[in-house]
């Protein structure tokens, strides 16, 4: 399994009040200019999205994979073949406006650039998937501490022992993100994230990581480990890095994805994806 922990990126974005107050357009412009770090807490209140772009002859398999696995792969938008535009962000360019990308050939990671114009193809169909960074505003508003943001780290992500439902040529394990939660905030974290099913919804597991086939929380497959406070419970949410695990398992000839934790900032407001009529 490919393991990438870019500590050099972590220093590039300090998620302080300034970065939280960026507009999505400002954040995308900064990324286009080369800013490369994790995006948790950036442009607070605006929806973040995972990216995977595959050749058109794999697009139906990807769409079916997402439809069959909606918890890790909630679809927010699908582009026309070759298009680098999305209805989620006016004027944005999916080839340049993420902090960092991953380029895959035959299931192998071959590059991690900050701009993929040199790799872009006219037959690529892009999928933008909901991201758990989006519900962090709701957790924070309800008083749930977000440890990786507090510690200036990328959220830890783990490949689980749970296989996704296969679709056509695509198969692979579910990936989860993990956040330590104090027990007195556990019910709140479950409730608040469950109200946002378009961005993964509620947790898939709480407590012993062995229940997901995870052996060591200190060694995430993606992202960085975080420090627990006394009494914190590990809570796991389905993660939009799951399609990257499917790429590694299924080995399509080509794909472009976001680098884990380095998301696309949309113009949509987080509240748009909260279940209506519930407060």
Tens digits of per-residue pLDDT, 46-62?
Answer: 999 999 999 999 999 99
Number of domains forming the structure of the chain: 1
| 124 inside domain | yes
- 262: Cβ contacts below 8 Å, ≥ 6 apart: 9, 36, 37, 38, 39, 98, 99, 100
CATH code, domain carrying 111: 3.30.2040.10
Tell how strand 46-55 and strand 254-258 pair up. Answer: antiparallel
> Which residue, among 130, 105, 140, has the nearest Cα to 196 in the 3D structure?
130
Q: Distance between CA atoms of 217 and 147, rounded to whole angstroms?
A: 14
Q: Distance between CA atoms of 177 and 241, rounded to whole angstroms?
A: 9
- Name 158's bridge partners: 176
| pLDDT tens digits, 107-129 | 999 999 999 999 999 999 999 99
Are 142 and 190 in contact by the 8 Å Cβ rule? The answer is no
Domain limits for position 147: 7-273
Confidence of residue 134 (pLDDT cuts 50, 70, 90): confident
| 177 inside domain | yes
Q: Is 41 exposed, middle or buried (0-12, 13-18, 19+ CB in 10 A)?
A: buried
| 242 inside domain | yes
| 46 inside domain | yes
| 103 inside domain | yes
279 has pLDDT over 80: no
| 127 inside domain | yes
Are 156 and 226 in contact by the 8 Å Cβ rule? The answer is yes
Of 37-46, 89-98, 221-230, 253-262, the poorest mean pLDDT is in 37-46
Are 102 and 259 in contact by the 8 Å Cβ rule? The answer is yes
| 1 inside domain | no
What is the reported pLDDT for 143? Answer: 96
**How confident is the model over 172-184, as a mean pLDDT?**
98
| 279 inside domain | no
């Amino acid at each position: 399994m490919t393991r990438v922990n870019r500590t050099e990126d972590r220093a590039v974005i300090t998620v302080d009040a300034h970065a939280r107050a960026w507009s999505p357009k400002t954040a995308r412009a900064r990324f286009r200019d080369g800013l490369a770090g994790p995006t948790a807490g950036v442009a607070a209140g605006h929806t973040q999205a995972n990216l995977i772009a595959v050749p058109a002859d794999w697009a139906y398999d990807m769409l079916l994979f997402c439809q069959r696995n909606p918890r890790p792969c909630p679809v927010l938008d699908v582009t026309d073949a070759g298009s680098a535009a999305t209805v989620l962000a006016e004027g944005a360019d999916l080839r340049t406006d993420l902090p960092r990308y991953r380029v895959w050939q035959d299931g192998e990671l071959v590059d991690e650039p900050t701009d993929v114009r040199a790799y872009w193809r006219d037959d690529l169909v892009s999928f933008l998937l909901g991201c758990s960074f989006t519900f962090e505003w709701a957790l924070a508003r309800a008083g749930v501490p977000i440890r990786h943001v507090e510690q200036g780290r990328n959220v830890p992500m783990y490949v689980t022992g749970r296989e996704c439902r296969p679709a056509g040529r695509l198969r692979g394990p579910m990936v989860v993100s993990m956040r330590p939660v104090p027990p007195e905030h556990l019910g709140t974290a479950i409730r608040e994230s469950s109200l946002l099913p378009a961005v993964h919804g509620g947790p898939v597991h709480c407590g012993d990581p062995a229940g997901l086939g995870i052996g060591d929380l200190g060694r995430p497959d993606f992202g960085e480990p975080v420090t627990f406070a006394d009494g914190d419970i590990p809570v796991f949410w389905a993660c939009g890095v799951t399609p990257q695990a499917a790429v590694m398992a299924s080995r399509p000839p080509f794909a472009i994805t976001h680098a884990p934790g380095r998301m696309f900032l949309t113009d949509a407001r987080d509240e748009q994806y909260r279940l209506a009529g519930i407060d």
